[in-house]
A and B are shown apart, each in its own frame.
Chain A
Amino acid sequence: EIVLTQSPDTLSLSPGERATLSCRASQSVKYNKFAWYQQKPGQAPRLLIHGASSRAAGIPDRFIGTGSETDFTLTISRLEPEDFAVYYCQQYDYFYSFGQGTKLEIK
């Protein structure tokens, strides 16, 4: 099983700032089979990034996914009020697994 560890657990920032969320895999994730999701309270998660760096349809270009093998990053270039939520990373190379989540909260 590939274990994904996200950091930090909580990130406190203000609107307009840049957010950097990290996800480290316990072993290499091949073929960039990696995704990021956003989840707001009471809602199902929403796919942001797939293939490590491809934005899903309708996702603003302020969401940027980078990384490969064991280290992946989601950058939100300039935070909007609606971006404060919980973010999960996922690998789908060997079985499927999610990180524990990073809560992005308003400072």
Chain B
Amino acid sequence: QVQLVQSAAEVKEPGASVKISCKSSGYTFTSYWMHWVRQAPGQGLEWLGRINPTGESTLYARKLQGRLTVTRDTSTTTLYMELTSLRSEDTAVYYCVREIFSGSGSYLYWGQGTLVTVSS
């Protein structure tokens, strides 16, 4: 069965960076686009970015351009998200997600979420 297992919660100070991992299993990793979505406490869902199956192409939300980097390691079937220059408003649960079928844009599989807290 498809599993997306994310790294543990992080606490960071403003201005620092965070890198979250998402280990995939149960399917062919190089066949699907992957995305990151976040949810601030008590708030709605926000799309952050995506990466194509081979890792050669990325697309980011305009508000995070320059601060967000999404990568994938096909040898370990792991997806990564790095967010720099952290601010308090980046405090959220971050989810990695896999599309229902490649290129569809809707998300059937979700990681368990990683809470990132930005606080001094």
Contact = CB atoms under 8 A, between A and B. Distances in A.
Given A44-B113, A50-B100, A56-B100, A92 B106 contact: yes
Contact of B61 (A35, A44, A56, A95): A95
**Chain A: interface residue count, which band?**
20 to 34
B29 interface: no
A57 B108 CA distance: 9
Nearest to B101: A50
**Chain B: interface residue count, which band?**
20 to 34
A99 B62 CA distance: 17
B32 to A, nearest CB: 14
A47 B47 contact: no
Contact of A47 (B50, B62, B106, B112): B106
Which one of A35, A96, A99 has the greatest number of beta carbons of chain B within 10 Å?
A96
Given A47-B100, A100-B44, A56 B108 contact: yes
B104 A45 contact: no
B27 interface: no
